[in-house]
Amino acid sequence: MTKTDSNNTAIFPVFKPRTSQVPIRHFALRPGFVWGASTSAYQIEGGIGAESGRGRSIWEDYFDARPHLDNGEIACDHYNRMVEDVAMIKKMGLKAYRFSVAWPRIMPNGKGEINQEGLEFYSRLVDELLKNGIEPYLTLYHWDLPAALEKEGGWASRETCRHFAEYTQVVVNRLGDRVKHWCTFNEPEVIVAGYIGEGLAPGLRNPSLRVQVGHNLMLAHGMAVKALRSYSKDLQVGIVLNLVPAEASNRSKAALDAARRHWQRNYAWYLDGLFKGRYPRVVSLEARRHGVAISQEDMELINQTLDYLGINWYLRQVVNSRGKVLRVPAAQETLMGWEINAAALTRMLIQMKADYKLPPIYITENGAALKDEVVEQGGQPAVHDLERMHYIYDHICALEKASLAGVDIRGYFAWSLMDNLEWSLGFSKTFGIVHVDRKTMQRTVKDSGLWYGLVIKVNTVGRGHG
């Protein structure tokens, strides 16, 4: 496998829509609803060698310490295949593409010196997308902190927030003339997980850092929002939260209370901070216990107006009266062990509408790791991932229901555009609507991707979306 071989062409197997099994139909969603797919830098780019000018991220350190695991050295080689990948996105009929910028590619040490080559890469990506009529949705931080900053305390240090604002300024100065949709952070809750022992970089195991790290992420978000707004009032600025609703295992008061506490401690924490300007009591108490200072000014910074909320949705959890997360007997699950339950998405969105004054919502990630088999069809590879098609269809139906119930949902992004590095779980957990051959890097649009393209067509025809 070479890093620079870009001769491969995306392959589109002959697709016979199995409409009797998974419909291709018009959904009752808002006019102008955005249809896209998501990726993140470390999971797909590769191109991390010295020649790229990119600095190290916490993930290189993480995988160096665990050399038996798959890592992001090559990933999907997107860094070298960007133009072909954009052509594929266009051919698939997607209207929007959500990607992240790698901070260490822009500022190898996390601060100070700027790597122009890194900025140029994203500038070319944005130009390529726009040229092909695909709207870029840019995320500033999808988990790849520059390793140099981790050595200075990482997200446990408030200094990192200032550096993040500086980095944001550099990126928006270069791309703000063309990128309209900006996201500060992807999934603060999972970033925190990397500090408290849950198998993600930087791989710390210190539960007492939980609130400090989460609060710093919220502060960094607030500072980045200011930096973006100071560049231009016309940008659409938001954040992406992973939300996992906690549902009670029975209707007893104890179980309902335990489920509420679980939700508040892990998820409402961020929602309350962002949209109410205060943290839930369970989080404030934890902050006090660990001596985390949270001022009124901090909360004002966190509670700035946002233009949208991105939600990554994969699963719900069922919690018993002792606060324990239960495995639901006979539940359908993905390879991640995540329960498939689209109806819970509708319930969560309707509940959130009652609990918060929210900006418009985009589902910025949703998808399933399932067993994929590459077969030969007419001399070409094909992946008949009917189950993934069902999964995506059911979740779009769930959004349609929420939308009809008055929730303001503006878009859906499938996770992921292509099979990629599922962090510490490696390449075996494939979420893509495009298959990536690990040896040749050849892309093959799966049946789910072909089906999704047809759904997009049916839902955008005659609306000025092409």
Residues noted as catalytic = 187, 365
CB of 288 to ligand FCB, least distance (A): 29
Q: Which is nearer to ligand FCB, 128 or 422 (CB)?
A: 422
Decide if residue 431 touches ligand FCB (CB under 6 A).
yes
Decide if residue 242 touches ligand FCB (CB under 6 A).
yes
Decide if residue 312 touches ligand FCB (CB under 6 A).
yes
CB of 336 to ligand FCB, least distance (A): 7
HEC readout, the chain: CCCCCCCCCCECCCCCCCCCCCCCCCCCCCCCCEEEEECCHHHHCCCCCHHHCCCCEHHHHHHHCCCCCCCCCCCCCHHHHHHHHHHHHHHHCCCEEEEECCHHHHCCCCCCCCCHHHHHHHHHHHHHHHHCCCEEEEEEECCCCEHHHHHCCHHHCCHHHHHHHHHHHHHHHHHCCCCCEEEEEECHHHHHHCCECCCCCCCCECHHHHHHHHHHHHHHHHHHHHHHHHHCCCCEEEEEEECCCEEECCCCHHHHHHHHHHHHHHHHHHHHHHHHCCCCHHHHHHHHHCCCCCCHHHHHHHCCCCCEEEEECCCCEEECCCCCEECCCCCCECCCCCECCHHHHHHHHHHHHHHCCCCCEEEEECCCCCCCCEEEECCEEEECCHHHHHHHHHHHHHHHHHHHCCCCEEEEEEECCCCCCCHHHHHHCCCCCEEECCCCCCEEECHHHHHHHHHHHHHHCCCCCC
Q: Which is nearer to ligand FCB, 70 or 298 (CB)?
A: 70
Decide if residue 187 touches ligand FCB (CB under 6 A).
yes
CB of 190 to ligand FCB, least distance (A): 5
- What dihedral angle (degrees, nearest 10) is formed by the CA atoms of 436, 337, 385, 18? -150
CB of 142 to ligand FCB, least distance (A): 6
Judged by CB under 6 A, the stretch of 10-18, 59-67, 185-193, 282-290 that binds ligand FCB is 185-193
Judged by CB under 6 A, the stretch of 145-153, 182-190, 296-304, 441-449 that binds ligand FCB is 182-190
**Matching residue, tokens 């726009």:** 130
Q: Which is nearer to ligand FCB, 242 or 249 (CB)?
A: 242
- Tell which one of 210, 422, 432, 436 touches ligand FCB (CB under 6 A): 422
Q: Can you list the pairs that 383-389 forms with residues at least 24 positions away whose Cβ atoms lie under 8 Å?
A: 383/13, 383/435, 383/444, 383/446, 383/447, 384/446, 384/447, 385/446, 385/447, 385/448, 386/18, 386/21, 386/22, 386/447, 388/433, 388/446, 388/448, 389/21, 389/22, 389/447, 389/448, 389/451, 389/452
Q: Which is nearer to ligand FCB, 401 or 446 (CB)?
A: 446
Cα–Cα distance measured from residue 342 to residue 438, given in angstroms and rounded to the nearest whole number: 31
Judged by CB under 6 A, the stretch of 76-84, 170-178, 186-194, 445-453 that binds ligand FCB is 186-194
Q: Which is nearer to ligand FCB, 24 or 75 (CB)?
A: 75
Size of the site for ligand FCB (CB under 6 A): 12
CB of 338 to ligand FCB, least distance (A): 9
CB of 176 to ligand FCB, least distance (A): 24
CB of 249 to ligand FCB, least distance (A): 24
- Tell which one of 35, 36, 40, 118 touches ligand FCB (CB under 6 A): 40
Interface positions, 103-142, toward ligand FCB (CB under 6 A):
none
Q: Which is nearer to ligand FCB, 211 or 311 (CB)?
A: 311
CB of 420 to ligand FCB, least distance (A): 8
- Tell which one of 87, 114, 170, 190 touches ligand FCB (CB under 6 A): 190
Which residues are 440's β-sheet partners?
A: none
Q: Which is nearer to ligand FCB, 115 or 186 (CB)?
A: 186
| Max Cα-Cα span within the chain | 65
Q: Which is nearer to ligand FCB, 53 or 310 (CB)?
A: 310
CB of 415 to ligand FCB, least distance (A): 5
Q: Which is nearer to ligand FCB, 53 or 245 (CB)?
A: 245
Cα–Cα distance measured from residue 78 to residue 66, given in angstroms and rounded to the nearest whole number: 24
Judged by CB under 6 A, the stretch of 183-191, 211-219, 227-235, 454-462 that binds ligand FCB is 183-191
Interface positions, 341-370, toward ligand FCB (CB under 6 A):
365
Q: Going residue by residue from 136 to 165, which x/- string records binding to ligand FCB, judged by CB under 6 A?
A: ------------------------------
Decide if residue 430 touches ligand FCB (CB under 6 A).
no
Decide if residue 70 touches ligand FCB (CB under 6 A).
no
Decide if residue 62 touches ligand FCB (CB under 6 A).
no
Applying CB under 6 A, the residues found at the interface with ligand FCB are 40, 43, 186-187, 190, 242, 312, 365, 415, 422-423, 431
